[in-house]
């Protein structure tokens, strides 16, 4: 990615609804050249999609929970990953180091929904040895904006 691509991606993260004319000003290019850059960024997978940034509380899922899970290796692990992919409450799942296998980020409507998910889905999944939940009391920072690295200078 060069500096122009970097400027475009940063601008789009800040305002995904920015029009091509606005992006062209940021990029220092014509509208058509900017459109071509955006298209190439999509084709390369740099831009993975277009979404609205919703307020979790306003759409009925104000409860934020992180869960550490230890899962047995083997077929149970594959079953666990499939369950995670199918669960809309799971926003993120990461394989981690240390004494745990996975770190999950959940959004739910209330504590009863959390209890149901933990007992009916997570702890019931084959191979789950133990879980630890971390209930967020409030969020100091929550963003999906990535710190786009500066373009490398060619020598």
**75 located within any domain:** yes
Collapsed DSSP state (helix, strand, coil) of residue 120: helix
Are 93 and 39 within one domain? no
**130 located within any domain:** yes
Are 73 and 119 within one domain? yes
**120 located within any domain:** yes
What is the reported pLDDT for 58? 97
* Whether residue 63 has pLDDT greater than 70: yes
Over residues 67-95, the mean pLDDT reads 96
CATH number for the domain spanning 28: value is 1.10.10.10
| Nearest-10 Cα torsion for 4, 20, 12, 41 | -60
Mean residue pLDDT across the chain? 94
CATH number for the domain spanning 119: value is 3.30.70.920
Dihedral sign from CA coordinates of 147, 153, 154, 155? negative
The Cα 49–Cα 43 span in angstroms is 11
- For 129-143, write each residue's pLDDT tens digit: 999 999 999 999 999
CB atoms within 10 A of CB 128: 21
What is the reported pLDDT for 150? 83
Are 28 and 68 within one domain? no
**% the chain with pLDDT above 90:** 92
| Full residue range of the structural domain in which residue 11 is found | 3-43
What is the reported pLDDT for 151? 72
Structure tokens that stand for 143 in this block: 């963003």
Q: How confident is the model at residue 154 (pLDDT cuts 50, 70, 90)?
A: low
In this structure, the chain runs to a length of: 155
Are 78 and 29 within one domain? no
The candidate with the shortest Cα–Cα distance to 52, out of 21, 16, 1, is 16
Structural domain count, the chain: 2
Does residue 121 contact residue 131 with C-beta atoms inside 8 Å? Answer: no
pTM: 0.86
| Strand 102-108 with 63-71, pairing | antiparallel
**For residue 94, what are the contacts with CB-CB under 8 A and spacing of at least 6?**
102, 103, 104
* Whether residue 13 has pLDDT greater than 60: yes
Are 123 and 67 within one domain? yes
- For 93-131, write each residue's pLDDT tens digit: 999 999 999 999 999 999 999 999 999 999 999 999 999
């Amino acid at each position: 990615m060069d500096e122009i691509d970097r400027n475009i991606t940063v601008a789009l993260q800040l305002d995904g609804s920015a029009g091509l004319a606005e992006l062209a000003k940021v990029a220092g290019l014509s509208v058509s050249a900017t459109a071509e850059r955006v298209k190439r960024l999509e084709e390369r997978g740099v831009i993975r999609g277009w979404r609205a940034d919703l307020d979790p509380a306003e759409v009925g899922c104000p409860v934020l929970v992180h869960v550490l899970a230890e899962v047995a290796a083997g077929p149970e692990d594959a079953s666990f990953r499939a369950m995670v992919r199918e669960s809309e409450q799971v926003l993120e799942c990461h394989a981690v180091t240390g004494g745990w296998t996975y770190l999950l980020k959940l959004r739910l409507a209330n504590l009863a929904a959390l209890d149901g998910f933990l007992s009916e889905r997570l702890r019931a999944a084959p191979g789950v040895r133990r879980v630890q939940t971390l209930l967020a009391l409030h969020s100091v920072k929550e963003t999906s904006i990535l710190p786009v690295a500066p373009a490398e200078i060619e020598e």
